Structures are given as C-alpha cells and as structure tokens.
Amino acid sequence: MLVVEVKAGQALVWGAEAAQTLRERLGVGGRLVGSLARGPRQNARLGLPLLLLPEEARLLAEIGAATLVTAPRPDPGQQAQAVAAYHQEQESGFREQRALACEARRRRLQDLAQHIAAGRAQKQRGPREAEQGEEGARPRVAWARPLDWHHPSPDWPHAGNPAHELRYRVYKDLWERGYFLTSGGKFGGDFLVYPGDPLRFHAHFVAQCCAPGDALPLSDLVSAGRLGTNVRKTLLLCSPQPDGSVAYTSLQWAGLP
Amino acid sequence: MEPAPERPLQPEPGAVLVPAGRVLSPGELFAARSREQKLPLRSHGQKVFLPDGSEAQEEKLRLCRQELWTLLAEERVERRGSLVTAEWSPRDGVVTLKSFAGKFWQTMGFSEGGQQRLYPEEALYLLECGSIQLFYQDLPLSIQEAYEMLLAQGTRGFLQYQVFSHLKRLGYVVRRFQPSLVQSPYERQLNLESGSIWSSEKCHGKRKRRNSSPRSTYKKSKVLENPLPEVVGTDESQATSSQSAPRHNSRSLEEKSQESRHVKDPGGSSWPPESPEQVFGQAEHHGGTLKGGGRSQDRAMDNSGNSGACKPRWDFEKIAFPNMACDCPHTLLLAPAPELLPGNVAAREIDAAPWCQKLNQRKEKLSRREREQQRGAAPFRSDVNADPEVRRCTSWRAYKELLQRRWQQKTWNRLPNLWDQPVTPLLNPGQAASPAIVLQQISLLQTTHLTDGVDGRLLEKSGDLEISFDIYQADSVSSFRKNDPGRPYARMCISGFDEPVPDLRTLKRLSFQSGDVPLIFALVDHGDIAFYSFRDFTLPVDLAH
C-alpha cells in the first residue's frame, strides 16, 4: 500500500519503489525535489522525496492506490528497545565489515604476492588498523494518521477550494484519457500534457483551466496563445461542465497564408 | 526489515504504518565502497514527439526509467569517521554539533553559548549531503524523519528549504537575513565598519592602549629661535614649572579638534611639548585652548572633547588676555618675568602698534573675474536704511505703502505685456533653451524611486512577506567570515506561486529593509524555482538637445 505523506499542503512520496510504481503503473509522475544520494551538490538531477501535485495526491486517494497520511511519528514505546537494537546493530555490522575487509585484503595480497615479496625487505609492515566501518541508516517503525482529504485542515488546505476543484476535474479527466500531466507553471498554464512519459516525449498541450462562467479577457487569451506558440505547444482551454464532462478548446496561432 | 511491534502499546486505531526505508546489510555497505560515483548523462537522445508503440521507443524509455530508479534507490553510505555528530533539539529549534565541525563551518552555522550550532535548514542540507549524522533521542534520524521534524512551520518552511538547498547546491553562501548588518549608503560612504562587535572590539582595543601608556607620540616641538610675542597673560605669572620646555603655545582651532580625541593622561612625566602653532599677529581671541608646553599637570583644555580628570590649575575665567583687536587695542606688551623663562631664552617688551597698523595693508589683488563680479554686485548692495524715505516710515505698514507707491511709479508707464495678465507665459524667453526644459515645466508626473517616501508608518506594518536569506557569491567562500560577512550579493524573499504579487507597500518596505543590496523574489512552483526582481528604472529623456 502506497503511503503519501502530507504536510502543509505538500504531498511527498518517499521510497524509490513507490515512485516507480506511481510512474510506471499509474502514470503519475510528480517531481523530485531532494538531493540525489550519489551527487548531492548539483542541481541537474535531484533525488527523493517526490513531490506530488495536490491533484495527483487526491486522485491517488480517490482511486484507492495510495493513502494520504499526516504527521508520522515513531512509536514512543519502543524507544529504549530501538536504541539498544541500534547499538547492537552497529557493533555486529562493524564486526562483519571488518571481517569482510580483512578477507578482501587477504585476497588482494594474494594477487599481488610477487610485488610484495620484492618490497618486503625494505618496508616493515605492521598489522594495519581495522578500518572504520560504514554507516547504515536504521529505520524505525513510524505510525501516521490518515488524512481526511474531503475536509480542509492545516495540512490539506485544498479541500473545498474552488480553484483546486476546477483543476482536479480537468486533471482527472485528462488522466483517464491516458495522458501524463505535470505542473505547467513554467509555461504559463496549469498543466503540461504529455502523450507518454515525460522522460521520452515532448508535451503536446499547455492546459489552462477556466471555470465555465468566467469571463476570459482577450489579452489573457492572446498572451497564453503566444506563449504556447513560442514553445511549440498547443494551448488547451479546459472547462469542466456541470454535467461532469470537460469541454476542451485548443488554440493555435496561425498566420494568414 | 521492520520489527513487528511486540509491545502491548497500540497505535491509535486507524493509524497507518509508514513503510520504512531499506537497511543495508554489512555486505552491501562494504560493497558500496566500490560503487559508481559518476552521474550518468542526462540525455538519451532527443525526445520524440509522438509515441508510436515501437520497440525502439519502448526500449529507450525502459532504459531511462531503469537508470532513474537505480539512482533513486541508492542509499547514502558514508564513513563513520567523516560524519559529524549533531543533535536536534526541538525546543530551541536548532541543531547542536557534538563533534568538531568540518569544512562547512566556514560558511554555515553559528556559535552560541560555547557550542557550535546549525540552523535547521543548514542541518537538513548537510544531512542530505552526507556530512553530518543527526541524532534525536539517541537515535539517528533518517532524511524522511528529518524533513518531517526540522521543517516545521515555525522554522523556515518547506518552500524556504527548497530555495535554500537549490542555492546551496549551486554553490552560493546562504545565511539568514540579519537586519542589523544592513549598512546604509551613508555609513558606507564614511567607511564605518559594519557590525557593532567588530567596531567595538577595535575601539576598545585602541582606547585601552591609549589609556595604559602615556602619550609618548607627541612630536618634538621646534624650539623657536626668536621668541615671538606670544600671548601671555601679563598680569598673571603662568608658572610653567621647572621643566625645560618653552613657553605656552597658543593653538588654533584646527588643532583643537585633533586634540579633543586624545585622552589625556594626567601622569606626572614630562610632556614633550607639542609643535607650537605659529599664530602671527595674535589677533584672535581663542576659545580657550591653551596648551602649556611644559606643564606636568594635565592639559588645561576646557573644550568639550577633553575628558580631563583633574581640575586645571589655572582658572581661565580670571586670566585676562590682552585684546589686540582694532576696537580696543592693547598693544603694549611688557616683558615677561625672567624667572618664567628658560635660561637660554631672552624676552623683551614689545609695542605691537606698528605691527597692527601693517595688518591688512596689502591691497588684495583680485582676479579679473572677481573684479567684474564685485562691480556687478555692488550697485545693488545698498543699505535699505540709508534711504531717507524709508527712514521716514514709522511702521511696517507705512513701509509697505512706500514700496507699493514706488512700484506703481515704476510700472505705470510700462507697455502692456504678457506678464501683466492673469495668465502668464510658462517660461521666460531666456529659459527655453531646449524642448526638454519646456516639457519639464508641463510635466505632471515626477520620477520617484522605490525607496522614496518610506517612513515609520510604512515600516511598522509587517505583512506576511519577509526577507529570508542573504546570499553571498560562491567565489568569496575562501574569504568569507561569518562574523563580518560584508555586503551580500543579494537578498531573497520567498513565496509560493499561488500567492498574490506583493503590493507596492510591501515592496517599498522590503526594499527599504534591504538597503542598497538588490532584492530578489524566489517563486516556488511545485519544485521549480524562478527568480524575479524589481529594479528602479529611469525613463530616458526622449529629446536630443
């Protein structure tokens, strides 16, 4: 069961397997916002946690693929036990690593036997200090409260927000049609619509959500259309209808032939 | 491998078990020494426009994804010796270092109460980088737990942390905003050091030094060959004591200002005398800065800057100085008593009358321009009171009536012109030198700057937007000093993408707070950070003269 941790309106997914399941099986991408373990001091590739759009989190909760939780806390009753277990784990792990290190060294010495014999007369080799072991993270059991995403709360302020409802309906509809959606703030829209995984495909549309009764100033239309054309994407105006469907209008800047 | 909870303590009903991360076995940890360190290249060829279900596309996608999951699934492995232990205390909201800090201490953290501390966002960043090991209640925190605990709302929130880590990964030095370090442009103009710690240390040091040793840096005075008729109180014997130093020197006011900064030490050693100020003619009445060259007592400087501890020996209210000014000349100076003078100096009485006559006798040689100026200005420089008609006026009203009469006489026979009408021309003929000046006269709008009109009322209101960080450039890392960071490269305000654009009042307040350092707004939109700034811009004047 996938668990999505929610805090102050931000939905985070930890765990590489969870992220993989979401992306490959459910078509929900999210964005990586943490430091990458292999290279934490660069910005080109980021690592876990995976940040989900509020619409993505809500969709996952609705279809039952994930549980939204809030405030995970380690079990306080197990504190002393956990500390003892931690120290014991450290010791045993250290011993085992030392054994492995000695073994590896022995093997290496065997390989380089002749070189060593040549230099043995000169140097005097004492027993080498056991190397420091590496450190592993020790996870503890944590329990969290499930979040009721139907009602607004400090951790989930989106419930009941009309803008969020609007975007969610558009998101859900496009997702059900098989598109891959990511945040479109960079391109002046609400979502970027991809035909497949964003890793390999370019976006086709910049989706902008409008409420059915809202007036749409022409200047907004022009600026949105211009933006879309400049990045070679079609502007998609989406507005959810009262009957449940969503009406789409696409806009492409055309010159007179 | 999660141990099942065998204790009877149940979690609350409905609680969800949060899956824990993977623990690496010792074998895996050992093998991690030799794992790949380089990041794979990002691009796997050009992106495609349409999915066509082909095998090639599928394969490429699979490769991309596989690489991504491999990278994400790697856990952090560090040598235990290279990790700095730190402890999180939620009550204070800071992280305390338990072992010695590493290289990051140069630009991050602060000292408090003898301990090295880190702010939560700094600690979280270092945890992600693998430089520290964060403990809470004797157990190390995972990054997931650290995110949950350290980024509470009270401390810098999630958005701030995203911006912070983004900038740190780029290499900038990011510190929390300290309004006390803002140096106004005026201070910078005067070269005042910023930061009270710095300046007070310096001042204290200097003061201490001055106080401890007597002033031995006085210049040796030039002993005068000809005793000039210095101003000496002839009625009083200014006992210069038995030191071998020449007479009193009168000081001009310029040196007084220098002197006022020195703290006088009423020590009993002999003062090497000051270089005497040659005031020829002595026509001034001093403000009382008399300096005894050879006095062993403290200087009797009764100017304000002196912090003389003892009372001066002479009461200057009783000492009369001869007035040699033109209104009350006292030009006959008697010889001083021989016992007041050093042995090898002879003094005589002098009559300064011929000297005074010779004062200001030389004709001032004006340059040509000055002469013309004087000639031009002179006709108008006439005394109002010299006019007999004005003298006859007995009151202000009479005077005003006189002026009115005169003006009417002057203008009654003037030709009708544009300036007599209710609507006068905009410019005098001589003023309209260029179209730009004409347009300036009719301009309605004035250029104003963002920091204009910022008063106390504006500064009091504190909206939700505040300056979060000071940013310093990456190339100054080697010379960065936490106590005296200098002028930041920029200051950062952080807000989410959905929040409204700050209004003019907030902008003014924030730019004023920031001083002359550019202010940048970081907008975080679901992991994407965009930077915006407002800049003062003067519209160019469109016309060429």
Q: What is the ipTM of this complex?
A: 0.87
Residues of A in contact with B129 (CB under 8 A): 35, 40-41
**C-alpha span between A79 and A88 (Å, rounded):** 14
Nearest CA in chain B to A205: B49
Q: How far apart are CA B100 and CA B97, in angstroms?
A: 7
Question: Is A21 in CB contact (< 8 Å) with chain B?
Answer: no
Q: Which residues contact A36 (CB under 8 A, 6 or more apart)?
A: A42, A45, A46, A47, B39, B71, B72
What does the pLDDT look like over B111-122, one tens digit per residue?
Answer: 988 899 999 999
The single residue of A151, A179, A233, A248 carrying the catalytic annotation is: A233
Q: Please tell me whether residue B97 adopts helix, strand or coil conformation.
A: strand
Report how far apart the first and last C-alpha atoms of chain A are (Å, whole number).
56
| 3-class DSSP assignment, residue B268 | coil
pLDDT at residue B297, rounded to an integer: 37
Mean pLDDT across the stretch A6-33?
90
- pLDDT, average across residues B299-313: 45
Least confident of A44-53, A80-89, A139-148, B105-114: A139-148
Residue B273 is predicted with a pLDDT of 39
ω into B246 cis (within 30 of 0) = no
Task: Mean pLDDT check: name the lowest of A120-124, B231-235, B333-337.
Answer: B231-235
> Which residues 114-173 in chain A show a CB within 8 A of chain B?
132-146
Mean pLDDT of the region A195-206: 90
Residue with the larger pLDDT of the pair B175 and B275: B175
User: Three-state SS for B78?
Assistant: strand
* Averaged confidence pLDDT in chain B: 72
pLDDT of residue B233: 36
Q: Do A133 and B37 touch (CB under 8 A)?
A: no
Say whether B75 and A37 touch across the interface (CB within 8 A): yes
Amino acid at B294: G
pLDDT band at residue B539 under the 50/70/90 scheme: confident
pLDDT at B203 over 60: no
Considering chain A, what percentage of its residues have pLDDT values greater than 90? 35
Q: For position B305, what pLDDT does the model report?
A: 37
d(CA B51, CA B35): 35
Residues B356 and B329 sit within 8 Å (Cβ to Cβ): yes
What is the average pLDDT across B450-464? 73
Can you tell me whether residue B301 is helix, strand or coil? strand
pLDDT at B6 over 70: no
**For A35, which residue in chain B has the nearest alpha carbon?**
B128
Asked if A14 reaches chain B (Cβ–Cβ under 8 Å), the answer is: yes
Give A179's pLDDT tier (boundaries 50, 70, 90): very high
Q: 């909870």: which residue's tokens?
A: B5
More confident call, A210 vs B418? A210
* pLDDT exceeds cutoff 70 at B285: no
Give pLDDT, residue B215: 40
pLDDT surpasses 50 at B408: yes
pLDDT band for position B188 (cuts 50, 70, 90): low
Catalytic residue among A115, A151, A194, A204: A194
Render pLDDT for B504-531 as a digit per residue (tens, 0 to 9). 888 888 888 888 889 999 999 888 999 9
Q: What is the pLDDT of residue B46?
A: 80
**Selection from B132, B142, B149 nearest residue B98 by Cα:** B132
The Cα A233–Cα B5 span in angstroms is: 53
Summarize pLDDT for B351-384 with one digit per residue, the tens. 887 877 777 766 667 677 777 776 666 666 667 7
B79 CA to chain A: closest CA distance, Å?
5
| Lowest mean pLDDT segment, chosen from B73-82, B256-265, B390-399 | B256-265
Span B241-269, mean pLDDT?
A: 37
Whether residue B338 is predicted with pLDDT greater than 50 in this model: the reply is: yes
CB-based contact A132 B29, cutoff 8 Å:
no
A202 is catalytic: yes
Q: What is the pLDDT of residue B290?
A: 39
Contacts of A193 in chain B (CB under 8 A): none
pLDDT of residue B521: 94
Res B381: pLDDT: 63
DSSP strand pairing (B467-472 vs B490-496)? antiparallel
In total, chain B counts a number of residues equal to: 545
Instruction: Please give the pLDDT value at position A177.
Output: 93
A103 and chain B: CB distance < 8 Å anywhere?
Answer: no
**According to the model, what pLDDT value does residue B262 have?**
39
Distance of CA A72 to the CA centre of its chain: 18
Q: Please state, for a pLDDT cut of 70, what percent of chain B lies above it.
A: 68
Give the integer Cα–Cα distance in Å for A92 and A99. 11
Q: Alpha-carbon distance A243 to A252, whole Å?
A: 27
> CA-nearest residue of chain A to B6?
A78
* Nearest partner of B341 among B222, B228, B245, judged by Cα: B245
The values of phi and psi at residue A96, to 5°, are -65, -40
Q: How confident is the model at residue B433 (pLDDT cuts 50, 70, 90)?
A: confident
Residue A97 scores a pLDDT above 80: yes
Check residues B545 and B493 and name the one with the higher pLDDT: B493
Query: Mutate which of A14, A24, A70 to disrupt the B interface (most B C-beta within 10 Å)?
Result: A14
pLDDT bracket for residue A191 (50, 70, 90): very high
Task: Please give the DSSP secondary-structure letter assigned to residue B235.
Answer: S
> Does the structure show a pLDDT above 70 at B534?
yes
Percent of chain A with pLDDT over 70: 91
- Which is more confidently placed, B139 or B267? B139
φ, ψ of residue A109 to 5 degrees: the values are -60, -40
What's the pLDDT score for residue B310?
A: 54
Report d(CA B69, CA A225) in Å as an integer: 37
B320 or B404: which leads in pLDDT: B404
